Chain A
Amino acid sequence: GIQVEQSPPDLILQEGANSTLRCNFSDSVNNLQWFHQNPWGQLINLFYIPSGTKQNGRLSATTVATERYSLLYISSSQTTDSGVYFCAVGEGGSEKLVFGKGTKLTVNP
């Protein structure tokens, strides 16, 4: 099955810094989503982005499907950005999303 690798596994930032999280996947996908899990365990959908670029406030994401990777950019990080960021991918015709193991982000004041 498809493999999903996220890097780095852990990231510690000072408030105000920028960061880039990466998601590599092993096969062609028709579904790619980024999620944020806050420290209380709630999972929030950030982007549905099987290709191209999207922006939502301080967050943006880019997926280069032909090269099998996606990037999540966080600018001017805030303590509320702390948590775990997951990338999940789905193959053509499949309802099954495969999740990476996540990047744990800690933003210190």
Chain B
Amino acid sequence: DAGITQSPRHKVTETGTPVTLRCHQTENHRYMYWYRQDPGHGLRLIHYSYGVKDTDKGEVSDGYSVSRSKTEDFLLTLESATSSQTSVYFCAIRGGPDTQYFGPGTRLTVL
């Protein structure tokens, strides 16, 4: 257990509404990641952070933004949710050495 929590764990929302998912860690890890998991695609990196206010894009970043104002929290925002963003979202941290540990996931449904 790498001390990672995600909230909410489940969310149903409507197309066009903004959504923010939160990832919280308790062990002061520098690197944090957001992935999405879809059937037939495995996990794909959305964005990652390498420190407070330092973020970079991943493989599938279109339609998503992130923020990290303090070490322990990494937020993923869907400015205007679409049905194609229905997915399971996982947050991860980088422990040592270069090993990633995942949170429990958030299941998001966009109607």
Contacts and interface: CB of A to CB of B under 8 A. Distances in A.
Interface of A: 1, 31, 33, 35, 41-45, 48, 86, 88, 90, 95-102
Given A86-B42, A100-B42, A31 B104 contact: no
A43 B90 contact: yes
Size category of the B interface is: 20 to 34
B98 A96 contact: no
B100 A33 contact: yes
Q: Is the interface of A mostly helix, strand, loop or mixed?
A: strand
Q: Is the interface of B mostly helix, strand, loop or mixed?
A: strand
Given A41-B105, A86-B42, A101-B41, A95 B99 contact: no
B50 interface: yes
Given A41-B105, A95-B48, A96-B58, A101 B42 contact: yes
